[in-house]
Structure 1
Amino acid sequence: MAGIGIVGAGISGLTLALRLQQLGVEATLYSERDAASLRSGRLPNTVSRMGHTLARERELGSEHYRDPACLMGSARLSIKGDPPLEFLARISEPFHAVDFRLLLPAYLEDFTGRGGEVVVTGAPADAARMDRWSREHELMVVTAGRRSVAELFPRDPARSPFDRPQRVLTAGLYGGLDLGPVFSYNVSPGCGEILRMPMMTRGGVVSGVLVEAVPGGPLEALSHLPAAEVAGELAGLLAEHAPRLAERLDGGFELLGEDDLLQGAITPVVREAVAELPSGRIALAVGDAWITNDPLTGQGANLGSACAWIAADAIAAGGPYDAAFGRATAERMWEAAAPVTDWTNAFLRPPAAHVVTLLLAATTRQDVADLVLGLFANPAYAWAVISSPEEVARIVDGGGPAPYF
């Protein structure tokens, strides 16, 4: 072995491996599971990939499952109230949602089919194994692995404002809820958010639903129920907290299966990106190993893809792959990651007055509605808007989006 060692076969690790392969850089991918095991596992997430991520996949020649039924060209935002605040927006580049139990094995097979080397480890990597592997490579890049992450990359307190989960999550795949190729974002103030998207799965296109419950609120109970009780409880919660979704339920609303449910909570965190190993090599954290954002703004996979691309280009430019290289690469990645992290963390708090003004304008002006939903595909501009009363005022007064939107 030689070249670059990559730990983790999520979207960050596979994007990095495929991009390095495309750039002619030798890489070995260390995956806890093989393609067959990835396909047969539990639901790992409900993810929507957006324009820039899809463009990178096109450049890699790794486009899969492009069924029109899971390409979202419009989105509806609904905020519960009396009256509710609602608008439907067009998306310039459709969002795409595919069960990662289909998508990741397809990427893994792209990599191996083009000559890439994969080592199936069969167990999570820890720091000791990482150090042993590093002796065969010029650089280790860590994109996943709970034990290795905790041991190698400590929390960065300056960039991590939360020390506990801000939402309790329940994600599942359901039949009997058909809105067509529309992304639905529903807010119940003080209680949480409910997101629905059409997802390509092993059984065809169904609804992926993510419930983001404020801890201690009425939506949290869903995260503690056994799989057999989730759909019934969710149907009742939709009627109360997301009535637009409840209107589309039919008598066949049900969870697809026990493996199609994910329950838990995450603490948003940014970790140190560079670790020096006993071997003398460094380990660079990318993707979830570096930053874990709440999925409220749907940015996890998209940010992981973006940072993997930045890291690949930095690696392809040549070494030495020392601590200075790691820090410089981390700063380049942070330029992409900072607005995503700041914007997502802001969404976890009640909206500022100028954000409410923007949402109200979206209910009467289609151009503003399209801009607001388009922010999900352009997090740098999203944060520029959300953090700036002046930018919101310019938009609401008829200025439209900034030139780089």
Structure 2
Amino acid sequence: MAGIGIVGAGISGLTLALRLQQLGVETTLYCERGAESIRTGRLPNTVARMGHTQERERELGSAHFRDPACLMNSATLSIKGDPPLEFTGYVSEPFHAVDFRLLLPAFMDDYAGRGGEIVPAATEPDAAQVDRWSRRHELMVVAAGRRSVAELFPRDPARSPYDRPQRRLAAGLYHGIDLPAAFSNNIAGGVGEIFRLPMMTREGVVSTLLVEAIPGGPLEPVTHMPWNEVSAALPGLIREYAPRLAEGLNPAEFGLLGPDDLLQGAITPTVRRPVAELPGGRIALAVGDAWIVNDPITGQGANLGSRCAWIAADAIAAGGPYDAAFAHATAERMWEAAAPVTDWTNAFLQPPPEHVARLLLAAATRQDLADLVVSLFADPAFAWSLLSSPEEVARVVDGGQKPLYDRV
């Protein structure tokens, strides 16, 4: 029996594989695409990894692409209005953004270079293929795969409040935005959000823009128009709905890097049931996007995937039997980390309640609160414990005191 089988070479699957390898657990990584195919493929996402995620990567000996130009020590939040509400906060550990077409192959090279086995799948794996692979292993962990995920892990309605996308998305890499190494969150009430951050890519450090369009609103057309029309349409929308961001546009140079550097679509936030019994008798445990897909509006997808993979790795390394009871217990441990992230992200898709609006208004006049708000993105459990409590927000805003849960 060849240890643990891992399906999917995204950040969750690779973090799990590298961590188990570090802990001396035999693994095999099954992936739909090899490293070279990922390197030359389409943009998969636009991700900022927070301090705790980077700390795990350092512990694994897999810290890559640490160019200062893609390390962000500050973030500016700008809410369109008359007058606009705006503040800049600072973080103790910079956010880090690297094109996953660079980062994931680097992780794969680390894993293979340390003796890990990578098995490319001939086709996108389905549940039957996962079952066939499972005969070599004590446990299967599924971190990716549209067909296998849909067949093995049904939607959990109790943890999935939305049955349709709350935003339509357009994420792309652009030349012609002259801004510093800082994160920018631009909000237009009732319209959507535009995020900008510097990212290390195949062409060096460029700007990534993520448009989060409320369906039916004026930003939505860029989420489904042809790629060669997006560069002409975006500047006018940015000037109208993200005027602070527009100050950094260079009209003569602005444009997408290329047709493979744009990702359009929509996500229905979904939590799936995390445990499946395979026909051959083995158990499959879901992690990462195979288990939870959150809207990227709070930037937590890759960070949560890394965190849950780490939790799963430590549980697996502690030993079996890797039966249904083990899988359910591990899933509950992961849910302790995932629940506040999911609740916060789902809440963020709606207009802010009064107490959160008060916190944002106060942050515009107090640097300590501006720093606090920006730091929430690095600690979502703390963020939800604060933002879900009108009493705690009032204590911080009115009393000038640090939060009870201050762990940033």
1:386 Cα offset (Å): 1.2
Q: For residue 145 of structure 1, what is the aligned residue in structure 2?
A: 145
Question: Could you say what secondary structure the match of 1:399 adopts?
Answer: coil
Tell me, in whole angstroms, the C-alpha distance in 1 between the residues paired with 2:33 and 2:226: 26
Misfit runs of 4+, over 6 Å: none
Superposed CA deviations along residues 287-325 of structure 1, whole A, max 9, x for unmatched, are 000000000000000000000000000000000000000
> What percentage of aligned pairs have identical amino acids?
75
Q: Tell whether the 8 Å contact from 1:368 to 1:400 is kept in structure 2 after alignment.
A: no
Question: Could you say what secondary structure the match of 1:46 adopts?
Answer: coil
Q: For residue 400 of structure 1, what is the aligned residue in structure 2?
A: 402
RMSD: 0.7
Q: For residue 163 of structure 2, what is the aligned residue in structure 1?
A: 163
> TM (normalized to structure 1)?
0.99
Tell me, in whole angstroms, the C-alpha distance in 2 between the residues paired with 1:369 and 1:172: 28
Q: For residue 35 of structure 2, what is the aligned residue in structure 1?
A: 35
Question: Could you say what secondary structure the match of 1:313 adopts?
Answer: helix
Tell me, in whole angstroms, the C-alpha distance in 1 between the residues paired with 2:178 and 2:122: 38
Q: For residue 327 of structure 1, what is the aligned residue in structure 2?
A: 328
1:122 Cα offset (Å): 3.2
Q: For residue 178 of structure 2, what is the aligned residue in structure 1?
A: 178
Q: For residue 385 of structure 2, what is the aligned residue in structure 1?
A: 384
The aligned amino acid for 1:302 is N
1:211 Cα offset (Å): 0.2
The aligned amino acid for 2:14 is L
* Equivalences for residues 93-242 of structure 1 within 5 A: 93-242=93-242
Q: For residue 9 of structure 1, what is the aligned residue in structure 2?
A: 9
Superposed CA deviations along residues 195-238 of structure 1, whole A, max 9, x for unmatched, are 00000000000001000000011100001211111011111100
1:179 Cα offset (Å): 1.1
Q: For residue 19 of structure 1, what is the aligned residue in structure 2?
A: 19
Q: For residue 317 of structure 1, what is the aligned residue in structure 2?
A: 318
Superposed CA deviations along residues 60-109 of structure 1, whole A, max 9, x for unmatched, are 00000000000000100000000000001111110000000000000000
The aligned amino acid for 2:218 is P
1:390 Cα offset (Å): 0.6
The aligned amino acid for 1:182 is A
Tell me, in whole angstroms, the C-alpha distance in 1 between the residues paired with 2:272 and 2:242: 35
Tell me, in whole angstroms, the C-alpha distance in 2 between the residues paired with 1:5 and 1:236: 49
1:403 Cα offset (Å): 3.6
The aligned amino acid for 2:159 is R
Tell me, in whole angstroms, the C-alpha distance in 2 between the residues paired with 1:167 and 1:61: 36
Tell me, in whole angstroms, the C-alpha distance in 2 between the residues paired with 1:245 and 1:359: 19
Q: In structure 2, do the counterparts of structure 1 residues 212 and 403 end up closer, same or farther at CA, with 3 Å as the change threshold?
A: closer
The aligned amino acid for 1:121 is A
Q: For residue 277 of structure 1, what is the aligned residue in structure 2?
A: 278
Tell me, in whole angstroms, the C-alpha distance in 2 between the residues paired with 1:168 and 1:228: 19
Question: Could you say what secondary structure the match of 1:252 adopts?
Answer: coil
Q: Tell whether the 8 Å contact from 2:382 to 2:406 is kept in structure 1 after alignment.
A: no
Q: Does 2:67 match 1:59?
A: no
Q: For residue 45 of structure 2, what is the aligned residue in structure 1?
A: 45
Tell me, in whole angstroms, the C-alpha distance in 2 between the residues paired with 1:262 and 1:178: 22
The aligned amino acid for 1:209 is L
Superposed CA deviations along residues 171-190 of structure 1, whole A, max 9, x for unmatched, are 00000002121000000000
Tell me, in whole angstroms, the C-alpha distance in 2 between the residues paired with 1:15 and 1:122: 23
Tell me, in whole angstroms, the C-alpha distance in 1 between the residues paired with 2:407 and 2:49: 20
Question: Could you say what secondary structure the match of 1:162 adopts?
Answer: coil
Tell me, in whole angstroms, the C-alpha distance in 2 between the residues paired with 1:245 and 1:322: 52
Question: Could you say what secondary structure the match of 1:105 adopts?
Answer: helix
Tell me, in whole angstroms, the C-alpha distance in 2 between the residues paired with 1:364 and 1:280: 60
Tell me, in whole angstroms, the C-alpha distance in 2 between the residues paired with 1:404 and 1:177: 34
Tell me, in whole angstroms, the C-alpha distance in 1 between the residues paired with 2:133 and 2:81: 55
> TM (normalized to structure 2)?
0.99
Tell me, in whole angstroms, the C-alpha distance in 2 between the residues paired with 1:28 and 1:249: 46
Q: For residue 337 of structure 1, what is the aligned residue in structure 2?
A: 338
